[in-house]
Amino acid sequence: MTPAAANAPSQARSPGLASVARQRSVGFWAEAWRRFSCRPLAMSALVLVTFLFAVAVFAPAIAGTKPVVCRYKGRLYAPCLAYFDRRLEPAIFTHDRFRGAYPRNLQEKDPASWAVWPLLFQDPYRAVRENEWPGQPANPTRGEGSPNRWNLFGTDQYGVDVLAKMIHGTTTALLVGLVSMGIAGSIGIIVGALGGYFGGWVDMLASRVTEVVMCIPTLVLILALMAIVEKPTIWKTMAILGITGWTGIARLTRAEFLRLRNSEFVLAARATGAGPLRIMIRHILPNALAPVLVPISFGIASAILTESSLSFLGFGTPPPSASWGAVLNDARSNLHSWWLVVFPGMAIFLTVLAYNLVGEGLQAATDPRLREARK
Amino acid sequence: MESQTRQRMVFLVVSACLAAVLPGGCSRRPEGLPAGVTLESLDAKPAKPVPKGPDVSFVPPTFDALERDAKWVDRPVKDGLVMLRAEQAGETPPVTVAEALALRNNSADANASILATLGRLPAAGEADPGARLERHLRGDVNSTNPIMINSTNEFDVLGLTGFELFSFDRRMEPFATAETVASWQSSSDGLLDKVVLRDDLLWSDGRPITAHDVVFTYTVIMDNRVPVPAVRSGTDQLRGVHAYDDQTLVFFHKESLATNVWNINFPVLPRHVYESTWEADPTLKDSDAHVALEEHPVVGGPYEIAQRKRGEQIVLRRRDSWSTVDGKQVREQPFFREVRFRIIEDTNTAFLALQAGDIDELILTPEQWQGTGDEFYERSTKATAPEWVNFFFAWNVETPFFADRRVRRAMTYAFDHERMLKDLCHGLYQPSTGQFHEAAWMASKKKVAPSKQDLDKAEQLLDEAGWIDTDNDGIRDREIDGRLVPLEFTMLVAQQSIRVATCNLLRENLEQIGVRMNVQPLETTVLLDRTQERKFQAYHGGWGTGTDPDSTENIWKSGEARNHVGYSNPDVDQLYEEGRREFDRAKRAEKYGRIQEILWEDQPYTWLYWRNGFYGFSKELRGYVFSPRGPYHYSPGYRSLWRPRQE
């Protein structure tokens, strides 16, 4: 809702005040959104990103072999949460020897039970066996699993459904992008803000640290880390991506803080006795945030690409976890299985493109210089 | 002590390839290569000097005393090629060459026809003497000095350039090679081996090869200052080596053992080249002289190095002075004028190179074997045969999880062996029922049914072992030292699709019975380190086969180097001791068979499958004959390959 629309009722009630309200300019973010929404490509990309978010969050309800919700022996359970964390699988099903086969066992062991099943009865980590779901055949293996009625994107050489892998891989991809850029954003903004605001030796130090970190080859560092740590996890990969990926953000933040630290509103805030922390957080940061969002958006795309590359090389997410890059890696040794190349390749391409388009859209919508240039 | 152990382990792992790869079959104590671990990874680990050296107190008897006291027994001196030719003489190929080349290898009959027809040696004049063989090499060699061999790559290359005295055939029977040895005798007490070298052997610089070269090399290998990565072990079991003249050589053993025959073969260096340089630079690689030798080594084998482009290719050229001495042909000329090793690390790239005709041979993965289509058959064909490469899950019995035999057995019962064989291995591999292949002479004669999944039995065994879910979190646990320990462990595995998938299947199976397993794929160097240092709870890997069952001693005997799982059983230890002292093969077989049975009961490994050999060959290549160690790693091995004359 725009500010003008919000003011509509008051306009009706009090024509005198309406002219005042009409004169209020729209806020920066509203203006940015207006400009952003005028860009069809950026908007399509945003729709795709939103869709991917939805897929990532609801992945276990979209594809899986565990009920989304079920009632068993008088109690409600959500076994599908085990796809997010194995520890969330209710113990009762292990004790009752379900052995992963929910549809049959729920009926056999508690005829009064009921369950809400995922849209697609396929598992991202294993092949579905014959009649595990009534009437559904076993997944084809050994490269014979081209796309078919039961496996829309085909299966890999071991019979695991590619679509299920990709749906659950969305969670990995988005998580990698968001968490790593969350870390990178936090570090980058803090380092850039300190350097830009205080200047002098603080700036010198921050700039040198930034330059040093820029020299670290992320991919090599991750490969080395995977070799050293006892238990490599996707979280450690994300941490490395975040810890090494903040330099661009820090440089932009520093530039914005340098530009803004002597502006009138900062001087005014300083005159009222506001401390440096308050000035930085409350006054400068909100004004500097827009340009900083751009590299974060590109960074998410880059992180997704790095994770896919790592998985493609076989050093990504440790099993059991689905990753688009890992599906691509399977394709290397099964060149005739085109579906192992096309679907994850397209997913990576479109997602990275979407984030880049969103980033570009943000840049165009928030950078006044670009706006001037377009006129 | 630890460094000794490491040193021995490195050798034993590596010596498998030494024994296996050299075309004439240079056979030391041949060991299995851990298939989960490549030998290339060993390159990163320079061997530590160990407190060993020649026995200075050893004084060889005079030749007269030796001849007076020893009762000599003749041992076989053979030529691998001649034996193979004689073997094939009575066989008739089931189809013509053209028919064999047109066959699609998709059945046992087709495979047998391809092997029987294309595996034949050439008739007189049939082979092209000017042909070039394009071989695939998975990685570059670290050194061209034969006593520095440390990886399969070096064995592959130096096997063609190296000089050797002994070998073994595809039934793993050892013999002295007739190409280099005039006679071989052992003393009746088993403490001496006397070898008389031929007098028509020349180094590539034209100097004669003599028994003194062998003694000199023994001295260098046993010197602590020389960083010999692999070949010292086994050699160190000798009391000494002495040359009585230019041709007569006697090996003195410390003990009379059935395994002595494997200890008397080691690579040979030219004494006249290294005599003046090795003490000044015991690294054998730093001084200017050794750097030059590294590029252009003086060799004693059938080929010499013509060109070496690091990371790209190594070209070997046939050595005329090998086959012709003083204008007279003294040995059969190798079939290829030139052998070029193309270094291609990525298996998929190598497969494309085979299809494009850039290389003549390649070991195929099961996926590649299955994925061969028209494009592949245009220039290539393929063949398979059983190979004794055994894959398993290894359980570290020193951890609280696997100390109890019942837990290990539960793991075996939990695993879906059938699904692994059918879906993961494409139905191409046979189930393994223990340490030795059922076709091997040392295997137990008791028929054991392959393991089958039985989750109820697995749960019962875990219950009996005290692993019950007491805290109701879905994972079995047990109180150990006052602390509740969940049954959650990590399985290490090499970064290869089929192996990771096998571990994932076990993870899925175990989850169904309340056991949590994490799969950790590792780079092979890291995996090797972790298993050697016993920093693991479980790992998935494999062993190739040695030529003698005693080669498995250091996998199962208490405290031995390759006993990564920490298994200890006094009965097994005793049987190994008895086995190496027993010369009667049938009695030896009983002892090793008993070991196999005990191990099967104890299940320190869950044995999974025997990995067969799958090879792609150019349609222009002939003469591939398989042994339990593949088509190359025995005598004649590579030497039987040939290319027909172009019409």
- For chain B, the domains span 15-341+620-640, 386-612
Distance (Å) from the alpha carbon of B121 to chain A's nearest alpha carbon: 34
Q: Is A225 or A268 the better-scoring residue by pLDDT? A: A268
Among A86, A117, A148, the domain boundary falls at A117
Q: A277 and A172 share a domain?
A: yes
CB-nearest partner of A91 from B424, B473, B500? B473
Residue A316 counted as domain residue: yes
Q: What is the pLDDT of residue B209?
A: 95
Residue A325 counted as domain residue: yes
Q: Are B424 and B418 in contact (CB under 8 A)?
A: no
* Residue in B closest to A337 by C-alpha: B371
The token pair that represents B522 in the structure block = 């590792």
pLDDT digits (tens, 9 = 90+) for B149-158: 766 778 888 8
CB-nearest partner of B455 from A99, A158, A334? A99
State which residues of chain B have pLDDT below 50. Answer: 1-51
Residue type, B474: G
Distance (Å) from the alpha carbon of A343 to chain B's nearest alpha carbon: 20
Q: A233 and A348 share a domain?
A: yes
> Does the distance separating the beta carbons of A87 and B426 come in below 8 Å?
no
Any CB–CB contact under 8 A between B470 and chain A?
no
Any CB–CB contact under 8 A between B125 and chain A?
no
Q: Are B308 and B613 in contact (CB under 8 A)?
A: no
Percent helix, strand, coil in chain A (nearest 5)? Answer: 65, 5, 30
pLDDT digits (tens, 9 = 90+) for A135-157: 888 888 776 778 888 888 888 88
Buried b / exposed e across A319-351, counting CB within 10 Å, b at 16+?
bbbbbbbbbbbbbbbbbebebbbebbeebbeeb
The token pair that represents B68 in the structure block = 């007076």
Give how far Cα A218 sits from Cα of A242, A244, B242, Å: 10, 7, 58
Among candidate residues B201, B170, B168, B196, the one with its CA nearest the CA of residue B181: B196
The token pair that represents A36 in the structure block = 């952003």
Q: Are B229 and B257 in contact (CB under 8 A)?
A: no
Q: Is A352 or B575 the better-scoring residue by pLDDT? A: B575
Q: State the ipTM, two decimals.
A: 0.74
Any CB–CB contact under 8 A between A100 and chain B?
yes
CB-nearest partner of B504 from A93, A95, A319? A319
pLDDT digits (tens, 9 = 90+) for A22-63: 566 677 778 778 888 888 888 888 998 899 899 989 999 999
Q: What angle do CA A347, A349, A352 make, to 5 degrees?
A: 100
Q: What is the pLDDT of residue A11?
A: 42
Distance (Å) from the alpha carbon of A26 to chain B's nearest alpha carbon: 54
Any CB–CB contact under 8 A between B469 and chain A?
yes
- Residues of the domain holding A235: 163-374
Residue B638 DSSP class: G
In whole angstroms, what is the distance from residue A265 CA to residue A272 CA? 11
Distance (Å) from the alpha carbon of A158 to chain B's nearest alpha carbon: 6
Q: What is the pLDDT of residue A14?
A: 47
Any CB–CB contact under 8 A between A13 and chain B?
no
Sequence-separated (6 or more) residues with CB below 8 Å from residue B256: B189, B190, B191, B581
User: What's the CATH fold of domain B15-341+620-640?
Assistant: D-Maltodextrin-Binding Protein; domain 2 (3.40.190)
> What strands, in cross-sheet order, belong to the sheet with A114-116?
A75-77, A69-72, A114-116
Q: A93 and A180 share a domain?
A: no
Q: A238 and A330 share a domain?
A: yes
pLDDT digits (tens, 9 = 90+) for B75-115: 999 999 999 999 998 888 889 999 999 999 988 899 999 99
> What is the 3-class SS of B86-150, one letter each residue?
HHHHCCCCCCCHHHHHHCCCCCHHHHHHHHHHHCCCCCCCCECCCCEEEEEECCCCCCCCHHHCC
Distance (Å) from the alpha carbon of A276 to chain B's nearest alpha carbon: 48
Q: A104 and A174 share a domain?
A: no
- Helix (H/G/I), strand (E/B), else coil: B367: helix
Distance (Å) from the alpha carbon of B526 to chain A's nearest alpha carbon: 7
Residue A132 counted as domain residue: no
Domains of chain A: total = 2
Q: Are B389 and B542 in contact (CB under 8 A)?
A: yes
Q: Is the pLDDT of residue A10 over 60?
A: no
| Contact residues, chain B, for A237 at CB < 8 Å | none
Q: What angle do CA A129, A130, A136 make, to 5 degrees?
A: 110
| Contact residues, chain A, for B495 at CB < 8 Å | 314-315
Q: Are B604 and B408 in contact (CB under 8 A)?
A: yes
Q: Are B144 and B300 in contact (CB under 8 A)?
A: no
Residue A169 counted as domain residue: yes
Q: What is the pLDDT of residue B7?
A: 36
Which residue has 């137990």 as its token pair? B444
- Helix (H/G/I), strand (E/B), else coil: A172: helix
Residue A271 counted as domain residue: yes
Among candidate residues B513, B491, B563, the one with its CA nearest the CA of residue B534: B563
Q: A171 and A316 share a domain?
A: yes
Q: What is the dihedral of CA B137, B143, B145, B149, to 10 degrees?
A: -70
Among candidate residues B118, B22, B20, the one with its CA nearest the CA of residue B380: B118
| Contact residues, chain B, for A94 at CB < 8 Å | 469, 474-475, 512-514
Q: Which CATH architecture has domain B386-612?
A: Roll (3.10)
Sequence-separated (6 or more) residues with CB below 8 Å from residue B211: B195, B197, B243, B244, B245, B246, B247, B248, B249
Among candidate residues A241, A363, A250, the one with its CA nearest the CA of residue A299: A241
Among candidate residues A189, A221, A211, the one with its CA nearest the CA of residue A296: A189
| Contact residues, chain A, for B473 at CB < 8 Å | 87, 91
Residue A250 counted as domain residue: yes
Residue type, A90: P
Q: What is the pLDDT of residue A372?
A: 55
| Number of cross-chain residue pairs from A and B with Cβ atoms under 8 Å apart | 93
Q: What is the pLDDT of residue B647?
A: 66
Sequence-separated (6 or more) residues with CB below 8 Å from residue A10: A17, A18, A21
Among A55, A85, A117, the domain boundary falls at A117
Among candidate residues A199, A292, A185, the one with its CA nearest the CA of residue A241: A185
Q: How far is CA A109 from the centre of its chain?
A: 40
In whole angstroms, what is the distance from residue A374 CA to residue A365 CA? 11
The token pair that represents B582 in the structure block = 């027993």
Any CB–CB contact under 8 A between A345 and chain B?
no
| Contact residues, chain A, for B426 at CB < 8 Å | 142
B42-47, Cβ contacts within 8 angstroms, sequence gap of 24 or more = B42/B10, B42/B13, B42/B14, B42/B150, B42/B151, B42/B229, B42/B528, B43/B142, B43/B150, B43/B151, B44/B525, B45/B10, B46/B227, B46/B229, B47/B6, B47/B7, B47/B10, B47/B227, B47/B228, B47/B229, B47/B230
Please give the full DSSP string across B268-300, using - where no structure is assigned: ---HHHHTTTTTT-TTSSSSHHHHHHHHS----
- The H-assigned helical ranges of B275-402 are 288-295, 320-323, 347-356, 366-370, 374-379
The token pair that represents A146 in the structure block = 């081209």
Any CB–CB contact under 8 A between B259 and chain A?
no
Which residue has 């697995």 as its token pair? B458
Distance (Å) from the alpha carbon of A183 to chain B's nearest alpha carbon: 26
pLDDT digits (tens, 9 = 90+) for B470-513: 888 888 999 888 888 999 999 998 877 788 889 989 998 998 89
CB-nearest partner of A314 from B426, B518, B521? B521
In whole angstroms, what is the distance from residue B233 CA to residue B9 CA? 9
Residue A129 counted as domain residue: no
Q: What is the pTM of this model?
A: 0.75
CB-nearest partner of A319 from B475, B500, B516? B500
In whole angstroms, what is the distance from residue B97 CA to residue B99 CA? 5
The model's confidence at residue A299, banded by pLDDT at 50, 70 and 90, is confident
Q: What are phi and psi of A311, to 5 degrees?
A: -65, -35
Distance (Å) from the alpha carbon of A325 to chain B's nearest alpha carbon: 14
Angle at which helix B405-414 crosses helix B497-511, to 10 degrees, equals 110
Which uninterrupted H or E stretch holds B225?
A: none
Q: Is the pLDDT of residue A2 over 70?
A: no
Residue B39 DSSP class: G
In whole angstroms, what is the distance from residue B143 CA to residue B560 CA? 29
β-bridge pairing B338-343 and B313-318? antiparallel
Q: What is the pLDDT of residue A160?
A: 87
In whole angstroms, what is the distance from residue B561 CA to residue B262 CA? 19
* Residue in B closest to A129 by C-alpha: B419
| Contact residues, chain B, for A336 at CB < 8 Å | 371, 373
402-441 in chain B: CB under 8 A from chain A: 422-424, 426
Q: What are phi and psi of A354, to 5 degrees?
A: -60, -45
Q: How far is CA B375 from the centre of its chain?
A: 32
Which uninterrupted H or E stretch holds B166?
A: strand B166-168
Give first-to-last CA distance, chain A, whole Å. Answer: 26
Any CB–CB contact under 8 A between A156 and chain B?
no
> Does the distance separating the beta carbons of A99 and B513 come in below 8 Å?
yes
Please give the full DSSP string across A63-125, using - where no structure is assigned: B-SS-SEEEETTEEE-GGGGGT-GGGS-HHHHHTT-TT-HHHHHHHH-TT-EEEPPSB---SS
Sequence-separated (6 or more) residues with CB below 8 Å from residue B406: B461, B462, B464, B465
The token pair that represents B281 in the structure block = 């630079």
Q: Are A179 and A240 in contact (CB under 8 A)?
A: no
Any CB–CB contact under 8 A between A159 and chain B?
yes
Distance (Å) from the alpha carbon of A100 to chain B's nearest alpha carbon: 6
CA atoms within 13 A on the CB side of B377: 12
Q: Are A343 and A153 in contact (CB under 8 A)?
A: yes
CB-nearest partner of B526 from A90, A141, A227? A227
In whole angstroms, what is the distance from residue B521 CA to residue B527 CA? 8
Q: Is B395 or A362 the better-scoring residue by pLDDT? A: B395
